[in-house]
A = this chain, B = another copy of it.
Amino acid sequence: MRDIFTAELTQLGEDLQAMSRLVESAISSAGTALLEGDVALAENVIADDSTIDAIERDLDERCVALLAQQQPVARDLRIVVTALRMSASLERMGDLARHVAEVARLRYPGRAMPPELEPLFRQMHDSAVRVAQRVTTVLGSHDLELAEEIERDDDNLDRLHHETFTATLGGDLTLTPQQVVDVTLLGRYYERFGDHGVSVARRIVYLVTGELDEHGGP
């Protein structure tokens, strides 16, 4: 019985990592689609989001089944409940990558991104991809130092998000209202993506140390 349970917990961890790898791929492709105006890539991200959603549903069902059949307590219970929450965050990160791709697709054959803001969004893209990659790694390694790095990536995303406002409102650029809308939403999507990455990181720290950051969660 215990062996089966241990195998199931291992499987949960592997599924979360699989979800996270798909999120990593989604945010990476979404940013490329946005910055290169690649509509085919945008459409792939949009279509593939249903795979992430399906893994989440399957994982959640198995968590509930585990609670019912194995009646875990203490640390085992914490692992299952935390898995439920992490899958919700990863699913949401997939949605946000899809939203970035949707903006890219909507503006095709034009570009959503004003050329002057490309360098800024290239930095946001890099930070978001790094968050996703580190989340995948931390899900496997439970490396607390790397989890801490995700917080710093997110701080960076917050700073860059703030810079999008400065750039949009600074008066040096002449943006159309549509560009202002797109940049505002895209900045928000990247910022939320980072928040959810931090939420997953904090939950892993919680699993390892038993301490949940008071200000946890996006």
Contacts and interface: CB of A to CB of B under 8 A. Distances in A.
A175 interface: yes
A177 B175 contact: yes
A51 interface: no
Contact of A78 (B64, B165, B168): B64
B77 A68 contact: yes
Contact of A185 (B77, B81, B178, B188): B188
A2 B84 CA distance: 26
A218 to B, nearest CB: 8
A168 B81 CA distance: 43
Contact of A77 (B64, B165, B169, B181): B64
A47 interface: no
A71 interface: yes
A180 interface: yes
A165 B180 contact: no
A168 B181 contact: yes
A67 B67 contact: yes
Interface in A165-205: 165, 168-169, 175, 177-178, 180-181, 184-185, 188
Nearest to A60: B81
Contacts of A71: 71
B184 A181 contact: yes
Contacts of A77: 64, 67-68
Given A81-B64, A81-B67, A84-B84, A165 B181 contact: yes
Contacts of A188: 185, 188
Contacts of A185: 184, 188
A74 interface: yes
Interface in A147-168: 165, 168
Interface of A: 64, 67-68, 71, 73-74, 77-78, 81, 84-85, 88, 91, 165, 168-169, 175, 177-178, 180-181, 184-185, 188, 217
